[in-house]
Structure 1
Amino acid sequence: MTALDDRPSVDEQPPLRGRAGPPPVGTPPVERPVRASLPNDVAIGALRPVMPQRGVPRLLRRIIGVNEDVLDWVPEERPRYTRLGLIVLNTGLLAAVSMHMALVSVLGSHWWLVFADLVWAMIIVTADSWLIASTHGAARTSLFGTYLPRLLLSVLLGAVIAEPLVLAVFHQSIDNEISETRKADIDAYGSAVKRCNPPTGEISTDPSCAGFLVVISERPQSAVEELGRATAHRDQLATRIGEVNAQLNELERLARDECAGRGGPGLTAVPGEGPECTRNREKADQFRRDSQVDQLNADLVTADRQVSELTTKVSNASSQAEREVNAAINAKIDEKRGNLTERGLLDEFEALGSLSSKHFSVLMAHVFLALLLIVLDCLPVLSKMMSASTEYDSRVRRQLDVSGRLHDLQMRASEKRDSVDFELQELRFRQKLRTGIEEIGGEDRTAKARRRMEVDAQIDRLAATLEQARTPQPR
Structure 2
Amino acid sequence: MSTDTAGPASPVPVRSSLPNDAPVGLYRPVEPNRGGGRWLRSIIGIKEDILDWAPEERPRYSRLGAIVLNTGVLAGLSLLVALSGVVGGAWWALLPVGVLWGYLIMTFDSWLIASTHGALTVSKAKLFVPRIAISVLLGVAIAEPLVLWVFSPSIHNEIAEHRKSEIEGYEGKLKSCNPVTGAAPSGSDCGGFRVNVKDSAQSVEAQFDAAVRLRDQARGAIGELDRRQAELENLARDECAGRAGTGLSGVPGVGGECRRNREKADQFRADNQVDKQHADLVGLEKETVDLTGRLAQARAVGGQQISQAIADKVAGKKADLTDRGILDEIDALGRISADSPVVSIAGWVLRLLLIAVDCLPVLGKLMGGTTTYDILVSRQLETAKRLHDKNIALYERNDTVDLDILLQRAEKKLRAKSGDLDQDERLARARSRTDRAAQIDQLAAELENSKDAFTPLRGPVASA
Q: Shorter-normalised TM-score: what interval?
A: 0.7 to 0.9
Structure-2 change in CA distance of 1:227 and 1:75 (3 Å): same
Deviation at 1:342, TM superposition (A): 1.3
The amino acid of 1:66's aligned partner reads I
* Paired position in structure 2 for 1:124: 105
The partner residue of 2:64 within 84, 100, 117 is 84
Structure-2 change in CA distance of 1:255 and 1:105 (3 Å): closer
* Paired position in structure 2 for 1:49: 29
The partner residue of 1:203 within 184, 189, 204 is 184
Using the size of structure 2 for normalisation, the TM-score is 0.77
Structure-2 change in CA distance of 1:286 and 1:412 (3 Å): same
Tell me, yes or no, if structure 1 residue 404 matches structure 2 residue 385: yes
Using the size of structure 1 for normalisation, the TM-score is 0.75
* Paired position in structure 2 for 1:184: 165
Structure-2 change in CA distance of 1:72 and 1:291 (3 Å): same
Deviation at 1:299, TM superposition (A): 1.6
Deviation at 1:431, TM superposition (A): 8.0
* Paired position in structure 2 for 1:227: 208
* Paired position in structure 2 for 1:415: 396
The amino acid of 1:70's aligned partner reads I
Counterparts of 1:180 and 1:168, CA distance in 2: 19
* Paired position in structure 1 for 2:138: 157
- Asked whether the equivalents of residues 225 and 274 of structure 2 are also in contact (C-alpha less than 8 Å), the reply is yes
Structure 1 residue ranges without an equivalent (≥5): 14-35, 443-475
- Asked whether the equivalents of residues 257 and 267 of structure 1 are also in contact (C-alpha less than 8 Å), the reply is no
Q: CA RMSD in A?
A: 3.6
The partner residue of 1:142 within 123, 133, 143 is 123
Deviation at 1:179, TM superposition (A): 2.0
The amino acid of 1:304's aligned partner reads E
Counterparts of 1:343 and 1:198, CA distance in 2: 33
Decide which moves more: 79-88 or 392-401.
79-88
* Paired position in structure 2 for 1:315: 296
Per the alignment, in what secondary structure is the counterpart of residue 209 of structure 1? coil
- Asked whether the equivalents of residues 193 and 329 of structure 1 are also in contact (C-alpha less than 8 Å), the reply is yes
The partner residue of 1:269 within 244, 251, 274 is 251
- Asked whether the equivalents of residues 85 and 325 of structure 2 are also in contact (C-alpha less than 8 Å), the reply is yes
- Asked whether the equivalents of residues 337 and 343 of structure 2 are also in contact (C-alpha less than 8 Å), the reply is yes
* Paired position in structure 1 for 2:275: 294
Structure-2 change in CA distance of 1:73 and 1:316 (3 Å): same
The partner residue of 1:215 within 196, 205, 209 is 196
The partner residue of 1:168 within 115, 132, 149 is 149
Q: After superposition, where does 1:87-98 map in structure 2 within 5 Å?
A: 87-98=67-78
- Asked whether the equivalents of residues 162 and 370 of structure 1 are also in contact (C-alpha less than 8 Å), the reply is yes
Tell me, yes or no, if structure 1 residue 335 matches structure 2 residue 335: no
Per the alignment, in what secondary structure is the counterpart of residue 269 of structure 1? coil
Count of residues in correspondence between the two structures: 414
* Paired position in structure 1 for 2:39: 59
Counterparts of 1:411 and 1:145, CA distance in 2: 31
Tell me, yes or no, if structure 1 residue 105 matches structure 2 residue 85: yes
Per the alignment, in what secondary structure is the counterpart of residue 183 of structure 2? coil
- Asked whether the equivalents of residues 237 and 300 of structure 1 are also in contact (C-alpha less than 8 Å), the reply is yes
Counterparts of 1:268 and 1:155, CA distance in 2: 115
- Asked whether the equivalents of residues 119 and 378 of structure 2 are also in contact (C-alpha less than 8 Å), the reply is yes
Per the alignment, in what secondary structure is the counterpart of residue 40 of structure 2? helix
Counterparts of 2:93 and 2:342, CA distance in 1: 37
- Asked whether the equivalents of residues 140 and 389 of structure 1 are also in contact (C-alpha less than 8 Å), the reply is no
Counterparts of 1:47 and 1:113, CA distance in 2: 51
Deviations 1:10-57 (A, max 9, x none): 7898xxxxxxxxxxxxxxxxxxxxxx9959644465632222222422
Deviation at 1:102, TM superposition (A): 0.9
Deviation at 1:328, TM superposition (A): 3.0
Deviations 1:301-340 (A, max 9, x none): 2211211122222222233333333333333333333222
* Paired position in structure 1 for 2:461: none
Looking at secondary structure, tell me which structure has more helix per residue.
2
- Asked whether the equivalents of residues 151 and 378 of structure 1 are also in contact (C-alpha less than 8 Å), the reply is yes
Per the alignment, in what secondary structure is the counterpart of residue 197 of structure 2? coil
Deviation at 1:293, TM superposition (A): 3.1
The amino acid of 2:129's aligned partner reads L
The partner residue of 1:349 within 300, 323, 330 is 330
Structure-2 change in CA distance of 1:288 and 1:360 (3 Å): closer
- Asked whether the equivalents of residues 101 and 168 of structure 1 are also in contact (C-alpha less than 8 Å), the reply is yes
Deviations 1:107-153 (A, max 9, x none): 22343311111111111111111111111112287222222221221
Structure 2 residue ranges without an equivalent (≥5): 425-464
* Paired position in structure 2 for 1:378: 359
The amino acid of 2:362's aligned partner reads V
Deviation at 1:220, TM superposition (A): 3.2
The amino acid of 2:64's aligned partner reads L
Per the alignment, in what secondary structure is the counterpart of residue 92 of structure 2? coil
Deviation at 1:423, TM superposition (A): 3.8
- Asked whether the equivalents of residues 177 and 188 of structure 2 are also in contact (C-alpha less than 8 Å), the reply is no
The amino acid of 1:47's aligned partner reads Y
Per the alignment, in what secondary structure is the counterpart of residue 47 of structure 1? coil
* Paired position in structure 1 for 2:368: 387
Looking at CA atoms only, which structure, 1 or 2, has the larger radius of gyration? Answer: 2
Structure-2 change in CA distance of 1:210 and 1:429 (3 Å): farther
* Paired position in structure 2 for 1:473: none
Counterparts of 1:10 and 1:42, CA distance in 2: 21
Deviations 1:426-475 (A, max 9, x none): 5667789999999xxx9xxxxxxxxxxxxxxxxxxxxxxxxxxxxxxxxx
- Asked whether the equivalents of residues 4 and 10 of structure 2 are also in contact (C-alpha less than 8 Å), the reply is no
Counterparts of 1:386 and 1:351, CA distance in 2: 38
Structure-2 change in CA distance of 1:433 and 1:318 (3 Å): farther
- Asked whether the equivalents of residues 37 and 51 of structure 1 are also in contact (C-alpha less than 8 Å), the reply is no
Counterparts of 2:203 and 2:213, CA distance in 1: 15
The partner residue of 2:220 within 213, 231, 239 is 239
Structure-2 change in CA distance of 1:373 and 1:250 (3 Å): closer
